[in-house]
Amino acid sequence: VSDKIIDLDCRECFCALGGSSKCVEKKCPQCSENERSIMKEDCSCTCEECEAGKVLCPTHHECIPKQRWCDGIEDCHDDELNCTSTTIEVTAAPTVPT
């Protein structure tokens, strides 16, 4: 009744009475402020920093390029919050004299 197994989709499955089972998605523990949790192929969890040139979006735990932070376009929930200024790249269409 309390046996737990991890299936191929990294779900934790528990044996229940009557021969049935209940599976729940395995969640990795939260990492420190500047790291994100990664589930490996073997279903183990690890904490990793974003690669060079990227910034962690704390809400969604994903890394985006630094140049996309505070650029006026929301790439994740956090990247446009508390920006002192935004940099928006504007490209104008060529004009044709008539």
- Please give the pLDDT value at position 62: 87
- Please give the pLDDT value at position 21: 84
Tell me the C-alpha distance between 89 and 73, whole Å: 10
Residues 49-72 have a mean pLDDT of 90
Q: Which residue has the higher pLDDT, 36 or 3?
A: 36
**One-character DSSP codes across 40-54:** -TTS-EEEEEPPTTE
Residues 43-70 have a mean pLDDT of 90
> Residue 48 — pLDDT band, cuts 50, 70, 90?
very high
Instruction: Quick: pLDDT tens for 10-36.
Output: 898 888 878 788 889 888 888 887 888
pLDDT at 3 over 60: yes
Domain boundaries, the chain: 1-49, 50-83
